[in-house]
A and B are shown apart, each in its own frame.
Chain A
Amino acid sequence: MTYDTEALVVGGGSTGTGIARDLAMRGVDVTLVEKGNLTHGTTGRMHGLLHSGGRYAVADQASAKECIEENRVLRDIASHCVEETGGLFVQRPEDSDEYFREKLEGCRECGIPAEELTAEEAREMEPYLASDIERAIRVPDGAVDPFRLCVANAVSAENHGARVETHAEVVDLLGDEDRVEGVTVRHESVSQSDTDRDSSREERADGDPDKREHQEPGRTEDIRADYVVNATGAWAGQIGEMAGVDIEVRPSKGVMVVMNCRQVDTVVNRCQPKGDADIVVPHETTAILGTTDEEVDDPEDYPEERWEVDLMIDELKQLVPILDDSRTVRSFWGVRPLYEPPDVGSDDPTDITRDYFLLDHEERDDLEGMTSIVGGKFTTYRMMAEEISDHVCEQLDVSAECRTADVPLPGSEDASVLDEGMDRFGLRSPIARRSAQRLGSRADDVLSSVDPNPVVCDCEAVTRAEIQDAIDGAGSDLNAVRIRTRASMGNCQGGFCCQGMAHELHPEYGEPTVRRALDELYQERWKGERHALWGEQLSQAMLNYALHAATMNRDEDPAETGGIDYTAFDDGVDAPGETGDERGVVPDGGNHANSTGGRTADEGDYGD
Chain B
Amino acid sequence: MAIEDDVLVIGGGLAGVAAALTANEDAQVRLISHKQSTLRHASGLVDVLGYTPEREGPLVDPFDALADLPEGHPYERVGIDAVRSGLALFDDIVGDAYAGGHTDRNALVPTHGGTVKPTARYPRAAAAGLASDERDALLVGFESMTDFDAPLAAEHLTAAGVPFEARGVTIPFPGDFRADAKVTRYAHALDRNEELDGNDGGPGTPARRALAEAVKPHLDDQERVGFPAVLGDDDPSGIRSSIERALGVDVFEVPMGPPSLPGLRLEDRLYAALEDAGVRVATGNPAVDVATEDGRVRAVYVDRTGRRVPYHADQFVLASGGLVGKGIDSDRETVREPVFDCHVPHPTDRYDWFEDDAFGDHPFARFGVDVDHDLRPLAADGTPEYENLRAAGSVLGGYDFAAEKSGSGVSLATGYAAGRAAGEAAARGDSTSATATTHGDTK
Contact = CB atoms under 8 A, between A and B. Distances in A.
A583 interface: yes
Given A550-B402, A559-B159, A585 B103 contact: no
Given A530-B354, A566-B162, A588-B251, A546 B402 contact: yes
Contacts of A527: 356
Given A499-B113, A606-B208, A551 B255 contact: yes
A452 B143 contact: yes
Contacts of A564: 58, 108, 116, 160-161
B179 interface: yes
Interface of B: 41-43, 47, 50-51, 55, 57-58, 60, 96, 99-100, 102-103, 105-108, 111-118, 124, 127-135, 143-149, 151-152, 155-156, 158-163, 172, 179-180, 193, 206, 208-209, 212, 216, 223, 235, 237-242, 244-252, 255, 257-258, 322-324, 326, 329-332, 349-351, 353-354, 356-359, 362, 364-365, 401-403, 405, 407
Nearest to B126: A590
9 contacts: A504-B146, A506-B152, A539-B324, A553-B113, A569-B130, A574-B103, A595-B248, A600-B248, A605-B242
A455 B130 CA distance: 31
A347 interface: no
A127 interface: no
A552 interface: yes
A590 B180 contact: no
Given A553-B113, A572-B133, A588-B128, A559 B160 contact: yes
A202 interface: no
A6 B37 CA distance: 64
Interface of A: 306, 310, 313, 428, 452-456, 464, 496-497, 499-500, 503-504, 506-507, 510-512, 514-515, 522-523, 525-527, 530, 533-535, 538-539, 541-543, 545-559, 562, 564-576, 578-583, 585, 587-590, 592, 594-595, 599-601, 603-608
A306 B193 contact: no
Given A550-B47, A582-B237, A545 B250 contact: no
Given A511-B159, A605-B242, A545 B135 contact: no
A11 B159 CA distance: 38
B359 A555 contact: yes
A601 B247 contact: yes
A554 B238 CA distance: 32
B112 A552 contact: yes
B58 A574 contact: no
Nearest to B216: A601
Nearest first, the 7 closest Cβ-Cβ pairs linking A and B are A552-B113, A553-B117, A571-B132, A583-B241, A500-B146, A511-B155, A503-B149
Contacts, number: 310
B354 A589 contact: no
B130 A590 contact: yes
B151 to A, nearest CB: 6
B249 A510 contact: no
Given A542-B365, A607-B193, A585 B111 contact: no
Contacts of B111: 551-553
A551 B239 CA distance: 24
B68 to A, nearest CB: 19
Given A552-B257, A566-B162, A585-B241, A604 B359 contact: no
Contacts of B332: 310, 313, 534-535
A578 B128 CA distance: 13
Contacts of A554: 113, 115, 359
B242 A570 contact: no
Contacts of A525: 358
A313 B332 CA distance: 11
A476 to B, nearest CB: 13
Contacts of A454: 143-146, 179-180
Contact of B132 (A523, A546, A570): A570
A133 to B, nearest CB: 25
A574 B127 CA distance: 11
Given A526-B358, A568-B60, A506 B149 contact: yes
Contact of B102 (A533, A535, A574, A581): A574
Contacts of A579: 96
Contacts of A578: 96, 124, 237
